[in-house]
Chain A
Amino acid sequence: MNVDKRPVVFIVLATLTILAGTLFTTFIPLFLGTATPSVEKVIPYKPLEVEGRDIYIREGCNNCHTQTVRPLPFETARYGPPSKIEESAIDRPHLWGSRRTGPDLARVGAKYPAAWHYLHLKDPRSMYRDSNMPAYAWLNERKLDTSYTEKKMRVLGYPYATADMQALAGKTEMDALVAYLTRLGKELK
Chain B
Amino acid sequence: MRQDAQYDYRAIKGFAISSLFWGIVGLVVGLLISLQLVYPSFNIPPWFTYGRLRPVHTNAVIYGFTVPAAFSLFFFLVQRLCRTRLAFPGLARVTLYFFNVAIVLAALSLFAGMNQSKEYSELEWPLDIGVVILWVMFSINIIGTIMKRKEEQMYVSLWYILATIVGVAIVYIGNNISVPVSLFKSYPIYAGANDANVQWWFGHNAVAFVFTTLPLAVFYYLLPKATQAPLYSHRLSIIGFWALVFAYLWTGAHHLIYTPLPDWIQTVAIAFSIFLIAPSWASVINGYGTMQGQWEQMRSNYLVKFIVLGITFYGLQTIQGPSQAIRAFSALIHYTDWVPGHVHMGTMGWLTMTLSAGMYYMVPRIYNTEVYSIKLANLHFWLVLVGQLIYSVTMWITGIRQGAMWQAMDHDGSLVYPNFIQTLAPNYPFWNMRTVGGVIFFAGFLVFVFNIYKTIKNAPALEKIQERDAAQTA
Contact = CB atoms under 8 A, between A and B. Distances in A.
Given A25-B252, A74-B406, A138-B45, A60 B265 contact: no
B199 interface: yes
Contact of A95 (B50, B117, B171): B117
B146 interface: yes
Contacts of B421: 128, 130-131
Q: Is the interface of B mostly helix, strand, loop or mixed?
A: helix
A59 B163 CA distance: 35
B107 interface: no
Nearest to B58: A63
A18 B269 CA distance: 15
Contact of B265 (A18, A34, A66, A99): A34
Q: Which of B195, B253, B259, B424 has the most CB of A within 10 A?
A: B259
B166 interface: yes
Given A30-B198, A135-B40, A68 B249 contact: no
A121 to B, nearest CB: 12
Interface residues on B, range: 35 or more
Interface string A15-33: 1011111101110011000
A98 B428 CA distance: 20
Interface in A75-92: 75, 77-78, 82-85, 87-92
B185 A148 contact: yes
16 contacts: A2-B153, A7-B147, A10-B162, A22-B174, A25-B252, A35-B261, A58-B113, A78-B406, A89-B191, A89-B192, A89-B193, A93-B190, A98-B335, A102-B420, A132-B39, A135-B45
B51 A54 contact: no
A186 interface: no
Q: Which of B49, B166, B191, B246 has the most CB of A within 10 A?
A: B191
B331 interface: yes
A101 interface: yes
Given A84-B260, A93-B187, A134 B415 contact: no
B174 to A, nearest CB: 7
B265 A25 contact: yes
B274 interface: no
B154 A83 contact: no
B51 A85 contact: no
Interface stretch (A151-159, A164-172, A174-182): A151-159
Contact of A93 (B162, B195, B424): B195
Nearest to B116: A93
Contacts of A98: 119, 255, 335, 339
A60 B54 contact: yes
B182 interface: yes
B20 interface: no
Nearest to A71: B258
Contacts of A128: 421
Interface string B242-272: 1001111111110110111110110011001
Contact of B192 (A14, A25, A37): A37
A96 B256 contact: yes
A110 B147 CA distance: 62
A103 interface: yes
B332 to A, nearest CB: 10
B250 A88 contact: no
Interface in B185-228: 185, 187-199, 201
Contact of B415 (A4, A11, A62, A74): A74
Interface string B400-417: 000000111100011100
Interface string A49-67: 0000010011111111010
A33 to B, nearest CB: 9
B311 interface: no
B152 interface: yes
B181 interface: yes
A11 B162 contact: yes
Contacts of B91: none
B319 interface: no
B425 A25 contact: no
B356 interface: no
A155 B181 CA distance: 7
Contacts of A30: 190, 194, 197-198
A38 B428 CA distance: 43
Contacts of A29: 194, 197, 262, 265
